[in-house]
Amino acid sequence: MRIYRAKDYEEMSRKAANLIAAQVIMKPDCVLGLATGTTPVGTYRQLVEGYEKGDLDFSAVKTVNLDEYKGLSPENNQSYRYFMNENLFRHVNICLENTNVPNGLAEDAEAECARYNQVIRDLGGIDLQLLGLGVNGHIGFNEPDDAFAKETHLVTLTQSTIDANSRLFDRIEDVPHYAFTMGIRSIMQARKILVVANGENKADIIKKAFFGPVTPQVPASILQMHPDVILVGDEAALGKI
């Protein structure tokens, strides 16, 4: 694992975007695994700037997102499809047919999970997977558990995750309690994994995840077993390592 220390959020975002940009330049038809949340917003902003300068071409890129809330339509401004459209997709020359997010409105959860697993297989796997890191160690919506979930599944969100996400909703009662998420095995099969983290509230979990025991109680700890992981964090997030 490689760790890149950034002085602040902006530098963290720039370093992460440079790594993703390098992947796109080296393999124009690459498959990017994408994440949502507040942490990667700056990274996406940097990628948009790269495209606007003429340095990046997303026309052949394909994407698969980690997760989506169950019950939210793509038009809902809190859905992850909406997030991706607003923060990246509609600002670059990517073909929307080449972007994939779980269907939050799927009535048959098991069938939707199987469909999404097949999407990833049909794409030939993920070249670079971008991850954020939850304060409880979740990656995607793989929450602390007694075992590592393997492939796409429907998860019941923990109260800590609901609380953390409530800042994005008008009321905590509006935060969905279920989500579709890519599983640990799907994430671990990515050829390269890029983790971004900022803020001192991530310092404890970074120490546990990357320097503690590998355990499903800290889902991100499994990343210690991957051969090509890069962690980019600001000084506050990396303050305890």
Q: What is the mean pLDDT of residues 105-123?
A: 97
- Checking if the pLDDT of 152 tops 80, the result is yes
Helix (H, G, I), strand (E, B) or coil at 97: helix
Q: Which of 60-74, 88-102, 148-162, 196-210 has the lowest mean pLDDT?
A: 148-162
Distance CA 125, CA 47 (A): 22
pLDDT tens digits for range 29-48: 999 999 999 999 999 999 99
* CA angle, 58 then 87 then 16, to 5°: 70
DSSP 193: E
In sequence order, the β-bridge partners of residue 178 are 156
- At residue 170 the predicted structure's pLDDT band, cuts being 50, 70 and 90, is confident
| Maximum alpha-carbon separation in the chain | 47
CATH 3.40.50.970 correct for 19-196: no
Q: Which of 45-59, 113-127, 143-157, 194-208 has the lowest mean pLDDT?
A: 143-157
- CB-based contacts of 159, cutoff 8 Å, min separation 6: none
**Tokens at 138, concatenated:** 């979740």
Helix (H, G, I), strand (E, B) or coil at 47: helix
**In the block, which residue shows the tokens 């800290």?**
218
Q: What is the mean pLDDT of residues 182-193?
A: 97
Q: Which percentage of the chain shows pLDDT scores above 70? A: 100
- Checking if the pLDDT of 167 tops 80, the result is no
Q: What is the pLDDT of residue 54?
A: 97
- Checking if the pLDDT of 200 tops 80, the result is yes
- Checking if the pLDDT of 161 tops 90, the result is no
- Which residues have a catalytic role annotated? 67, 136, 138, 143
- At residue 9 the predicted structure's pLDDT band, cuts being 50, 70 and 90, is very high
